[in-house]
Chains A and B, each alone.
Chain A
């Protein structure tokens, strides 16, 4: 029941992850992902019926604290890190097609 990953599937995953690959890169990554996924299929050997999954080992559920406003006053400093800013806002290209 070996999972086989197609180039199309890899292209789809790349699109979801907002990455683009050339055809040659796609070929390369498909091969490597196939190899890694095949390695991970070894997990199927283990019987995990009724085994609860562990997503975190921390015993903490929630740390509740007083709801106190804490102003870090960092607007200027944060904006200074943006690749482009204008009028105290982060500037990005148009998000609506064909309009400004």
Chain B
């Protein structure tokens, strides 16, 4: 049995490093040895930065300062988070070989904390997808069942943590891309409040929806990582100038009397019966822990997917205009004129899902469709926000399933975009409203995890963590992990 992170929290690792039981360099070497052995099958990473990671680990050892809880501990970044001088591609052909000339703000913050970035995790191309099947490079598997998708778009990040390759990873979430893979892999995944974490250096998909967040095995680990990456950044004018609390401060506090809302729409048609059963059992557990549960309505939930796909694709089609073969990345080799450079580069450089969204977005913003699609979607977004505001007048938290189904088979939905889009129905409204949302393992069915989603008030991640921690300490589902040995 090789080294892995199944039974090690960040606090355990930090204690070992402080006590000199292991050095950051040893830990990093063990991490690479394990990835070397497991990733041939799992395919969680598109790229490893072994040399740079070892150099960082040695530098941390030389300094000998492990006061930061992340110091000397390996982690993975999603492939859409810029690292200075290290190839970052958004899992797209069009950025093959691209080496950013600056670090994303979260990368800078992690470096300052002494984190050791081991490599880039696979993802859906430019974060467009929900199964990591649209990656140009490879197909990441679900660590619990290699015939199933890991979810997406942060599928590589989730698989790497679920398989014990790294203790934590960063993902990004535009319509559920952290929470859905967390649900499919039995992890804790948080999409912070819009503006909580700087997006500087995150390859933009839909700028009014994107947020970076952590994927971890435990709630406390998640809060510790958020502590490190949150905060105002002058380079992202949508990041918010609010003091960053210690997100671990409410962990362990009782949830007695906490008012938790359950939206009836989150259990309606399209929700798999096994998912509903398990999530209802989890809600009963929260009630047993003292929470006051009440049923509410979020009446515009059913319009979220439509509004989201219009707004997201409109923003995305504008954002990916920058990939044109001129200044960086791939350029079609045989283009004769400038127009040909654009067209050939983009046609050869983008995969089908990216093209689909560019087309939908360009269409939605075109003269004849603007009012019926783009403007209408933005108005529905307002109604969705109002639905949430109303519930939060009386409740501290909203809970329900993260996804309508469990992880599905590789290849099962990729040719049916509409069905795949509908899989985001429960995560999308949270992005549209800019709220913080977390997924935590609610239990298993058929050996595969099921996600419980917790949605909080803006900038109240601490209360989400408080409830998630209470649930986690009661169920201790993180003790269960996939059997990787013998999988082919």
Contact = CB atoms under 8 A, between A and B. Distances in A.
A82 B101 CA distance: 12
Interface in B334-376: 335-344, 346-347, 350, 355-356, 358-360, 362-363, 366, 369, 372-373, 375-376
Nearest to A79: B327
Interface residues of A, number: 54
Contacts of B326: 82-83, 90, 92
Contacts of B377: 40, 43
Contact of A19 (B346, B360, B372): B346
B325 A83 contact: yes
A15 B358 CA distance: 11
Nearest to A74: B101
Contact of A10 (B101, B195, B359): B359
B104 to A, nearest CB: 15
Interface in A21-52: 21, 29, 32-33, 35-37, 39-46, 48, 51-52
Contacts of A46: 300, 303, 376, 379-380, 383
A43 B307 contact: yes
Given A17-B359, A58-B238, A60-B195, A40 B208 contact: no
B183 to A, nearest CB: 23
A82 B237 contact: no
A60 B372 contact: no
Contact of B417 (A17, A19, A32, A92): A32
B340 A81 contact: no
Contacts of A63: 234, 237
Given A39-B418, A83-B330, A92-B326, A57 B208 contact: yes
Contacts of B234: 63, 65
A82 B360 contact: no
A25 B406 CA distance: 32
Of the four ranges (under 10, 10 to 19, 20 to 34, 35 or more), the interface on chain B belongs to: 35 or more
A83 to B, nearest CB: 4
Contact of A48 (B208, B331, B341, B376): B376
Contacts of B240: 58-60
Interface in A60-95: 60, 62-63, 65, 72, 74, 77-78, 81-84, 90, 92-95
B327 A78 contact: yes
Nearest to A15: B343
Contacts of A35: 417-418
A48 B310 CA distance: 16
Given A53-B379, A81-B99, A36 B385 contact: no
Given A36-B421, A58-B195, A62-B237, A92 B356 contact: no
A1 B329 CA distance: 43
A93 B359 contact: no
Contacts of A58: 194-195, 208, 238, 240, 434
B358 A54 contact: no
Contacts of A18: 324, 339, 342-343, 346
A29 B381 contact: no
A80 B9 CA distance: 41
B383 A48 contact: yes
Contacts of A77: 101
13 contacts: A10-B359, A19-B358, A29-B359, A44-B372, A53-B375, A54-B382, A58-B208, A58-B434, A78-B328, A81-B98, A83-B331, A84-B331, A95-B338
Interface of B: 98-99, 101-102, 194-195, 208, 234, 237-238, 240, 300, 302-303, 305-307, 309-310, 317, 324-331, 335-344, 346-347, 350, 355-356, 358-360, 362-363, 366, 369, 372-373, 375-383, 385, 417-418, 421, 432-434
Interface of A: 3, 5, 9-10, 13-14, 16-21, 29, 32-33, 35-37, 39-46, 48, 51-60, 62-63, 65, 72, 74, 77-78, 81-84, 90, 92-95, 97
Given A46-B380, A58-B240, 6 more contacts: A32-B356, A32-B417, A39-B306, A54-B381, A58-B434, A83-B328
